[in-house]
Amino acid sequence: MARHGFSCGIMAVALVLSLVYSSLVVPSSAELQKLEHSIKDDGSLSLLVVGDWGRKGAYNQTHVAAQMGKIGKELNIDFVVSTGDNFYENGLTGITDEAFEDSFTNIYTAESLQKQWYSVLGNHDYRGDVLAQLSPVLQGVDSRWLCLRSFDLDSALEASRAAWKVVVGHHTIRSVSIHGDTKELHASLLPVLKAHGVDLYVNGHDHCLEHISSDDSPIQYLTSGGGSKSWRGVFNPSSDKLRFFYDGQGFMSLQLTKTAADVVFYDAFGSVLHRWRVTKELHSSI
């Protein structure tokens, strides 16, 4: 059976999702672990993206979760991506921290969200016991949870023959909200993304929803950090093309086929705030 999938390299700062025609590949420091997702009848894969959420249901986290469940059902999603800051304010205290269930298991209860969650780590996660979030023990508590860490982003992108390349990290590269651009990522990460033809960089960190087009490459910068507490009234324009900005709570969906990527942003009531589509010609691969 033909399969689509995502080749993924999960780092402390980034998770690489590449639409290929085989499997989901999660590089570790030793070898590649392959996880497969069967394609839908229409040849697509669908996912939701949410970030900056772990507040035990407070700051409208439960409302966002409920709408994620509804949209997840409509799209028949394959998995969910978390852009980090999974547990506030100071990460987890350990593998037995009740915040894991109070902020994750007991919040995202919709049937459509009972899929694999791929999570990156945020700065608030690093304030606590990072190894707890990385521990397979948590997968025993909730089998949806998967948070890994390695440092082979460049090699994962180099090896990929993907039609679409999406890199997910916590910190912003481009943003018009409170944190703004991250200079360190401009210096260390952005050249790698450009060199390997990355299509989308998806992040959290700023508690808002954003879509910014690069002024010097095809890369689209997508912020999905509205999983709970948001920052109202913060807006600092930049030289890049701002396609969409919402300083409130919400989440994002991404649907991928061989030739098209569809991005949609939703608010905490499930209303569509912004749609964007890009297409590309399909090149044969070996």
Does 215 count as an annotated binding residue?
Answer: no
- 186 annotated to a ligand binding site: no
- Cα–Cα dist 160/46, whole Å: 20
Residue from 4, 124, 171, 179 carrying the catalytic annotation = 179
- Asked whether residue 63 is marked as a ligand-binding residue, the answer is no
Q: What are phi and psi of 103, to 5 degrees?
A: -100, -15
Residues with Cβ within 8 Å of 285's Cβ and at least 6 positions away in sequence, in order, are 20, 21, 161
Query: What residue has token string 């499997």?
Result: 23
Exposed / middle / buried, residue 140 (Cβ in 10 Å: 0-12, 13-18, 19+) = exposed
Q: Is 52 annotated as a binding residue?
A: yes
Say whether 207 counts as a known binding-site residue: yes
**How far is Cα 79 from Cα 68, in angstroms, rounded to an integer?**
12
Separation CA 65–CA 181 (nearest Å): 28
63 is catalytic: no
* 106 known ligand binder: no
Give catalytic residue positions: 179
Q: Summarize the annotated binding site as residue ranges.
A: 52, 85, 88, 123, 170, 205, 207
Q: Summarize the annotated binding site for Fe cation as residue ranges.
A: 52, 85, 88, 123, 170, 205, 207
